[in-house]
Chain A
Amino acid sequence: MRFRFTETAIDTIQGRSELLDSGAGGYASFEGWVRDFNEGREVVGLEYEAFQELAVKEGERIVAEALLRFPVKHALCIHRVGALGLRDMAVWVGVSSAHRGEAFDACRFVIDEVKHRVPIWKKEHYRSGDSGWVNCERCSAAPAHGDDRGRDHEHHDEAVVLAVRE
């Protein structure tokens, strides 16, 4: 499986080990973390919910597309579901390849497509005590699927880690 969900902390060591390849000169990864603010609101926690039967299929398709599109060795994405606190890791993407350029490109492709296409929903809990489903409630004219506005709604800090031996 090149796309999967977990209800417990994402095991990045395990994920990375699945990317190892004698022909790979390194790997690029992306971690999405739970951030304490979004669109002017103070966020204290999140819940992720997924339509897992379809989400896994669509996630697998995205990773397969990345492997066709970029000359990389292996790619994997792991997404959390359930309740998460600040600083928790919500999503992890890792890509190994012969050279670093395509590893970064494929990693970016996978996270961008996952955010846009996979049926996962995020409920934010605010300091003020209320909560809301992202893209569904506070944007009363919420962006429809396929609307690029959705891509600007980043809800976590972004950490990019690179380990390359070239």
Chain B
Amino acid sequence: MQLKIHYYALMREQAGRSEETLDTFAATPSDLYGELLARYGFTLAREQLKVAVNNEFSDWSRRLKEGDAVVFIPPVAGG
């Protein structure tokens, strides 16, 4: 399954890219984060993040589908 991943802020720097298309067997955002954590060594634990799929907040257990766009959201700091 191919997914599109966008990275922001600290995670963009740690991944060394702002987006990528990924072939993965990850069934859920939770699985996907585990896979990417191992690859990029992100310092943020999953519990510190939120996740968005196709530009809307999502559950970590949602079933991902071919072509979904996933964004992991580090602790925010607007204002």
Q: Which residues of chain B are within 8 angstroms of A32 by Cβ–Cβ distance?
A: 79
- Chain B interface size, under 10 / 10 to 19 / 20 to 34 / 35 or more: 20 to 34
- The reply to whether A51 and B73 form a contact with Cβ atoms under 8 Å apart is yes
- The reply to whether A48 and B78 form a contact with Cβ atoms under 8 Å apart is yes
Chain A interfacial residues counted at CB < 8 A: 37
**Nearest chain B CB to A133 CB, angstrom units:** 4
Across chains A and B, the number of contacting residue pairs, with CB separation under 8 Å, is 96
Q: In this complex, what residue of B is CB-closest to A55?
A: B78
**Mask: chain B, 13-40; 1 = CB below 8 Å from A; 0 = not:** 0000000000000000000000000000
Which of B8, B73, B77, B79 has the most A CB atoms < 10 Å from its CB? B79
Q: Knowing A54-B57, A54-B71, A121-B9, say if A144 contacts B48 (CB, 8 Å).
A: yes
**Mask: chain B, 51-79; 1 = CB below 8 Å from A; 0 = not:** 01001110000000000000101111111
Cα distance A21–B57 when bound, in Å? 34
- The reply to whether B79 and A135 form a contact with Cβ atoms under 8 Å apart is no
Of A50, A57, A90, A135, the residue contacting B75 (CB under 8 A) is: A135
Which of A135, A136, A143, A145 has the most B CB atoms < 10 Å from its CB? A136
Cα distance A118–B57 when bound, in Å? 11
